[in-house]
Structure 1
Amino acid sequence: MGPSGVESAFIRHRRTGFVAATAALVIGLSAVTALAAPADGQSKEAVLSTEVERISGLVAAAEKDLERSTVEAEAAADASRAAQTALADAETQAAAAAAELEATREAVDAARDGIAALGRDAFMGADPLGDAAVLLDAAGPDEVLERAAMLDLLGEDRAERLEEFEVIQGRQERADRAAQAAVAQRDAAVRASVEAEAAAQAQLAASQHAYDVAAGQKFALDAQLRDAEIELLGAQGVADPAAARDEQQRGELAMARAGTAALVAGRVTSCYGSRSGAKHNGVDIAAPIGTPIYAPDAGVVLDAGPANGFGLAVYIQHADGTITVYGHINQYFVTAGQTVAAGQQIAEVGNRGQSTGPHLHIETHRGGLYQQRVDPAPWLSARGITLGGGCG
């Protein structure tokens, strides 16, 4: 089976799991759809209110499960990104160490040749025959140096050349040790990177399954909650309870999106910080694939394109030095080096990389890319973007 066939099979598996989870939950919930008769002195409205509250709690729990699966996938991807960065640094250091070692070897060879020439000059000069014979009998340049130094045939200026040679030799020895250490560090970084990527992929598969199950549960719970809320509105005397409930929901959704609209019209699902036992280094905003993403402030695009863990990402540096990162995007509309204005569309929401569902993952970095990742909420709030959802 080719890649497309594997992907299709995976999609069918996810769809089957989603449908099965939804069907199982609907069957289970249908058994409690019929409300118990009100107890003595208890109104139908009170019973319905209790039921709405109970189902709302189940919906909140399902949303927590969705958040947990998303954060766990992103934490694994973050570890993989860190390993990739460490590998790139190790490769740079190994290359620099190898270049330094090569340079010192060339310097040692040149110095050795120069010292050997000095020995020959001493032999061809006015040195006593006995001393020249001592030099001539030497096994090689290094021994010539030792004997010449011992016989003081080279003079003060040539003795300085000998000292310089010894310094260069010491430099070569240090460069050799550094090169060996750099290669060992690079090899360890390669292993760590491979292991981190494998762990990220395994975590994504597990998180995706958990997300699908939770999504199926929430889908069924949302339907039951809607029915219960409509029935409660009817018991409260509302003329058209279904229309009233839908209008209320649209208002709540619009309110949830209003704060983030200057960035992306979506609903905050996870804030910065510790979430579900994992460190979440950004803010997640759920929105349909294709929803526009706007630059919250003017800046210069550092990069836009493929990014490990994110699938595709955009990186923008702003006037205060802050770098904003936009991950899991579907496509981007900017290029590296481009200047963007506040409110300009830079990308659109996607579901690429280590992602369990369509959303924007935004991070803020200080002191350089991936140097210090901080909570985006205060920075966004200073630019009129309120996240809500308990963020900031």
Structure 2
Amino acid sequence: MRSPRRHPLLVPALLCAFAVLAARPTDTTDAADNDGAGSHGATDVGVSAQVARLYEDAAVATRQYEQGRTEAEAQRAQALRAEALLDRERREIAVLHEDLGRIARAQYRSGGGLPLTAQIILAGSPDELMRGQHVFSQTQLAVNNSIDKSRRAESRLAADEAKAAAAWQELEKRNTELADLKRDIESKLEQARWQLQGQADASVAAGACRGAVRLNQPRSAVTSAWLAPVETYALSSGFGSGGARWANRHTGQDFAVPIGTPVRAVGTGRVVKVSCGGAFGIEIVVEHAGGYYTQYAHLAAVTVDQGDRVTPGQWIGQSGTTGNSTGPHLHFEVRVTPEMGSGVDPVPWLSARGVVLG
């Protein structure tokens, strides 16, 4: 597994990127000035732009956090391997110490430590003297080798202990910083989301839409003719399901998403309706070729006007919980007329166009 020490600049770079994201100003003056709207409209545009920007920042923060977490897991594995190495080296040193003791005892019993003069006097023949010298030399060599191995092992042990301690400290520091920065961005996003929802609720209560919010959309990489109305979601109430909130059966497919999630046109079409109020709250209806219409309801803001042409993946609004809604989600319908009551099940309709929801 790749050691994180081979890329010492990666962690500081990630943390700097997080710091930039976390420190981005929440003042909406620039967005309002660019839009050129009046003071109330400028504030509305600013909050929508702020939510969109923080939504993207949060997505970047999440990707960087996950990347950092993956690297932290690799570092954790490295630290665990270092700990295992320490245990093995401790056992090896213990064995070496036992070997040294055994050699020393053998020398004592065999007389291997006698002076050369005494060995010459006591030797019965030159051959016996040579054999004694050979044993003595081999013994001394074994002792010296064992001492050297023990010293090298102890040196490695000390270095590995320091390395393991540093790895654990760096791991804990990185995890804490990544989590704190991600949490800070998400906190700012949550506050901005509910501010946006408050403005949407006021519009619905007044029965007057605020008008299109022109957001700077990311460059589209969409190549498909059809796609899901939101990028990341959890499916909730489906077409035809029952519930106390509906007079008969549920007429669309719900996508559970946070407030402010960019809502996308599922295909090429023309906006035929933008309205506020009623059970659907803020809603958009888009006409597509082939006599089909798609509806996007319970929005917090719209980014298109009636009559606009839209392309697959284009942001047409931001999700919310306006109208008859018990929580943040997108209500999506496919109809054969612009009006309610002509809906078809969106799931097989999208599936027939290559979009599998799940």
TM-score grouping bracket, smaller chain normalisation: 0.3 to 0.5
| TM-score, normalised relative to structure 1 | 0.37
More helix by share: 1
Q: Which structure is higher in RCO with an 8 Å CA cutoff and minimum separation 6?
A: 1
Q: Which has the larger radius of gyration?
A: 2
TM-score of the pair, normalised by structure 2: 0.40
